[in-house]
Structure 1
Amino acid sequence: MKPLTIVIFFLFFTHIGSSQENVSKGFSEHQSVINSLAIYGSSDCHYCQDTKAYLQEKNIPFKFYDIYENQKNMQEMLLKLKKSGMSLNNIRLPVVVRSDKLLMNSTDFESFLNELTKE
C-alpha cells in the first residue's frame, strides 16, 4: 500500500492548490448522486470490484469514480477525505461517500459492506 500513499501525496500536494476550483465544480456534478453512493476506487482493486458487485446485487444505485484513470477524481477524493478529517496516511480503497458521510474499507470487509446498506 506504500506506493499508493506516495502517489496520493504527490498528486495531492502538487495539484490541490491549482485545482481546488475544478474540484469544487466536481462537487456539484456529484449532487445527483446524493441519494445514492459515490465510490472512489480503482478498476484494478478487488475490494472496489466486490463493493460494486455487492451494491448491484442489492439494487443500490452508485456512481464509480476511478482515481487512477482520472486525476480529478483522485483530487476530489483527497479533498473530501481532508475536509472530513480522515487521515490521508493510510487510505484504503474503496472510499465511499453516502450523503455527507465518508466510509473507507476497514480490516473487516463484511462490516464495511453492511455499513453501506444502513439507512
Structure 2
Amino acid sequence: MTGWLLARGASETAPPATNPFHADASVVPVGRSLFNQHCSHCHAPNAINPDPSRDLRRLKLRYRENMAHVFYETVTEGRPTKGMVPWKGVLSEDAIWKIFTFLESVQREP
C-alpha cells in the first residue's frame, strides 16, 4: 500500500488518516459549512457536482477503505497536476476532518 500511496504523491511520513469525528452526526453541518466556504468553488456547493472527476460523493466508490487516507493526503499535499492546491497550513486538522465527516455523509452507494 505504501508504494501505491507514494505513487499518488503521498509522503512516507504522513500522519495516519484517522477521522476523530467519524460517525458524529453533529459535525456534519459544520463540515458542510466549511466545505461550502473552502471547497465549493471547485467541487460545487454541498459537493453536488455533475463532473465525475470533481464529484466528491464518489470517493468511497473510488477509494473504498483508503478513502480517508487519500482524502487527507490530497487535501494536505494537493494534486498540482489536476489543479488541486495543498491546504496544509490553511485549513486546520480539525477543519479537514470536519469536511471529511460531511463528505462521508453524502457518499453514493454502488
The TM-score range, normalised by the shorter chain, is 0.3 to 0.5
Higher RCO (CA-CA < 8 Å; seq separation 6+): 2
Between Structure 1 and Structure 2, the one with more helix by share is 2
User: What is the TM-score with the length of structure 1 in the denominator?
Assistant: 0.37
The alignment's TM-score, normalised by the length of structure 2, stands at 0.39
**Structure with greater proportional strand content:** 1
